[in-house]
Amino acid sequence: MLAVRGRDAGPAREPPFLPSVRIIFRQAPFGVSRSPGSWLTLMLLCVVIVPTIGVVWFMRQAVDNERLAGRQKLAEAYHAHLAGLRSRLEENWNRRDPATPPARTAGEAASRFASLVRSGAADAVVVLDPSGAPLYPDTATPPETSSTSPAWREAEALELKSPAAAAAAFGRIARDADDVDTRARALQAQARSLLRSGDRAAALTVLTAILDDTRLAPAIDPQGRLVVPNAGLLALELARELQPDGVSAIRARLRADAVDYEHARLPAPQRRFLLRELQRLDPDATVAALLAAEDLAAAYLAADEQPARDTALRLSALPDLWQSVADGGGTILLHRAEALPGRLSTVLGPTGLPDDVRLEFVAPGHETGDALVSLPAGALLPGWRLALVVPDLRRFEAAADARAVSYAWIAALVVLTIVVFASLAWGLVRRQTALTRLRNDLVANVTHELKTPLASMRLLVDTLLQSTTPDPQTTREYLQLIATENLRLSRLIGNFLTFSRIERNKYSFDFHDVPAGEIVTAAAAAVRDKMQAPGCRFEVDAAPDLPRIPADADALATALINLLDNAWKYSGADKAITLTARADVGTVRFAVRDNGIGLSPRDTRRIFRRFVQVHRTPHAGGGGVGLGLSIVEFIVTAHRGTVQVESAPDRGSTFTIAIPVAASSP
C-alpha cells in the first residue's frame, strides 16, 4: 500500500496542526471526557426546533387573523347591504297587497283562490267573507232539500224491488220536470236504477246525455253538489269498460269542470274529490297543483286555526305552514316553509349582489351555517334570518393570501437565520470542545510518556547508588541504559517542543543548500547507538554523489530520526532497518524500511494525523504520543517535498521522503 503525504499529496490533506474534529483519539490512557454529541444535539434541537415551531405557529395565527380580519371587513361591507334588502323586502311585501275589497260571493272567492294559487303568490288560499268566515274553500254543507213529490217517492220505492221499472219511472220524472235540478237528479237516478237492473250500456247513455245537456250544468243535488260532475265520474267508469273511445272526451270535460273556478260552481269538497279522482286516473301537473292547494287549505281550516290578522308572516297551527293576510284581511295566504324563500326572492326583486354572493332565507330552527353575515329577518318574518352566503370565500381573500405568502417568507427567513446561527454556534462549541479535549489529552499523554523513561532512569540510578562495590561492567551498562532513556526523553521533549512551536506558528526553518548525504549521516549517527542493540540490523545506504538540496538540515534530520525511531519501535525482536538515499528525477528520495508489524491500508491513510496511534503498545520499548509522523509531514511539506508510506500488515513498512534538489545542483 502506498500513501503519499506532503506536497501534491492531493485534496484530501488537512491543514497541519489545526484542531480538527476528525482527530481520532485512540486508547486515551487516562479518563477522557465523554463525547458531548448527545447534549449538543439536544441543545440544537432546542435552539432550532422550538423557535421554528414557535415561528410557524405565530405565522399561522397571523394568517388566520388576517383572514378573519378580511372576512370581518367584508361582513361589515355587506351588513348594510343586507339591512337594505330587508327593508326593501318588507316594503315590497306590503306594497303587493292591492287592497282588493273582500269577496262577497262563493264564485268570487273561488276565482280569487284560483288566481292567487296559479300566480304562485301562495301555496294555498282561504278567502273570507266580510264577517271573517271562510267563503272558499267552503266547508259548510247547505241544508238538504229533498224532492218529496209522490212520483219521486214511488220511483224510489221501486228502486230496490224493480230497478228497471224504477228507471222508467225516473225517466218520466225527468221528462216532465220543470226545473233543471229535478231533471238532472231524475236522470242521475234513472242511470243508477239502470245499473242496478244490469243495463250498463243504457246507464252510460243516460249519463252521457246528462253531460251533453248544457242546461243541466248548474243543477245541484240536495247536498249542494253539482250533479253533472258526479254523473260524469260514473260515466267515466262505465266508458272505460264499455266504450273506451269515449273516455278521453268525458275526462276532458270533467277536467275542464274541475279546474274551472270561474263558472263551475263546484263546492270545495266536491272539487277536491273530483280533482283527486282525475289525478288518480290521469296524473297532470295543473290538477296536482290545484289539488295540493285545496288539500292544504282544507287542512288549514280543519286545524281550526286562528286566522292571521296582518300582512306579516306568522306560523300557523300546522307545522312549517306560514300564513299572512291580503286584500285588506279578506284573503289568507298560506305558504309552505320550503316555498317561502323562492316567493320572498321574487317579491324582493334584484338583490344587487355579486354573482358569487347568495341571499338565503333561513327558517327558524335552522343554522345560518357558514354565512358571511346574517340578520334577523324582522317583523315580516318572525324567527327567520336573512343570510349572505359566499360559497367561494377564497376569491375575496386574495389580499390575505398575498399577506400569508409574505408571512411564509418571513418565517422561512427567520427559521433559516436560526438554523444558520445555531449551526455556527454548534460548530464553535464543538471546536471549543475539541480544543479542550486536545489539551486534556495532550497533558495526559505527555505525563504518561515522560513518566516511563524517568522511572527507568531513577531505578537505574538508585540501583547504582545502593551498590557499595559497583561492578564497572554493570555500571557501564546501566549508564548506557540511562543514556538511551535520556535520549528517548530528549527526542520526546524535542517532538513536544516542535509540535508546540508549530501550533503557535513559531517554528522557523533555516534553509541552506546542503548535501543530502550530510542529512543521512546526521540522522544515522543520532540513532546508531540504539540500532546497535542486539537483534537489530541497521544499514545505511546513501549514494555517494547525492545532489544538494535546499533544506533545514536539522529539521530534515529530525524527520528521518522520527521515521527511524518508528521503524525501531514497530519492529519485532529481530529488526532489519535500512536508511537509503537516492537521487531520482529532480528529487532526493530518503527511505526508511523496516521488517516490522506494518500497517493496514486504512491505517496508512490516517497515521499522519496528530495524536493518531494505531499501535499503542510498541513491540520494543519506547512510547509515543502520535505526534512523530505529523511533525515529519509538517517538515517535509515545508521543504516542498512529499512523504509516502508503503506498508502491509506483518510485512514491514517503507516511509519515503522526496525533497526537490537545489536549483544550483547539476
Residues that bind ligand ADP (CB under 6 A): 562, 566-567, 569-570, 594, 596-599, 607, 612-615, 624-630, 653
Nearer to ligand ADP among residue 88 and residue 615 (C-beta): 615
Give min distance, CB of 562 to ligand ADP, in A. 6
Residue nearest ligand ADP, CB atom distance:
624
Give min distance, CB of 457 to ligand ADP, in A. 20
Nearer to ligand ADP among residue 377 and residue 527 (C-beta): 527
Q: What secondary structure letter does DSSP report for 142?
A: P
Contact 592, 654 (CB under 8 A): yes
Give min distance, CB of 30 to ligand ADP, in A. 17
Give min distance, CB of 537 to ligand ADP, in A. 15
Task: Compute the distance between CA of residue 6 and CA of residue 4 in angstroms, rounded to an integer.
Answer: 7
CA angle 549, 658, 557 (to 5 degrees): 65
Nearer to ligand ADP among residue 30 and residue 39 (C-beta): 30
Nearer to ligand ADP among residue 323 and residue 613 (C-beta): 613
Task: Compute the distance between CA of residue 360 and CA of residue 384 in angstroms, rounded to an integer.
Answer: 10
Task: Compute the distance between CA of residue 453 and CA of residue 474 in angstroms, rounded to an integer.
Answer: 19
Contact 547, 661 (CB under 8 A): yes
Give min distance, CB of 631 to ligand ADP, in A. 8
Contacts of 532 (CB under 8 A, 6+ apart): 538
Q: For residue 376, report the phi and psi dihedrals to the nearest 5 degrees.
A: -60, 140
Task: Compute the distance between CA of residue 123 and CA of residue 540 in angstroms, rounded to an integer.
Answer: 125
For residue 639, list its beta bridge partners: none
Give min distance, CB of 647 to ligand ADP, in A. 6
Give min distance, CB of 519 to ligand ADP, in A. 19
Give min distance, CB of 605 to ligand ADP, in A. 11
Nearer to ligand ADP among residue 300 and residue 570 (C-beta): 570
Q: For residue 326, report the phi and psi dihedrals to the nearest 5 degrees.
A: -135, 180
Task: Compute the distance between CA of residue 524 and CA of residue 349 in angstroms, rounded to an integer.
Answer: 115
Give min distance, CB of 485 to ligand ADP, in A. 16
Task: Compute the distance between CA of residue 21 and CA of residue 51 in angstroms, rounded to an integer.
Answer: 28
C-alpha cell at 308: 292571521
From the list 146, 103, 512, the residue with the least C-alpha distance to 327 is: 103
From the list 550, 490, 563, the residue with the least C-alpha distance to 515 is: 550
Task: Compute the distance between CA of residue 638 and CA of residue 256 in angstroms, rounded to an integer.
Answer: 122
Contact 156, 163 (CB under 8 A): no
Nearer to ligand ADP among residue 386 and residue 577 (C-beta): 577
Nearer to ligand ADP among residue 340 and residue 632 (C-beta): 632
Nearer to ligand ADP among residue 422 and residue 631 (C-beta): 631
Nearer to ligand ADP among residue 191 and residue 561 (C-beta): 561
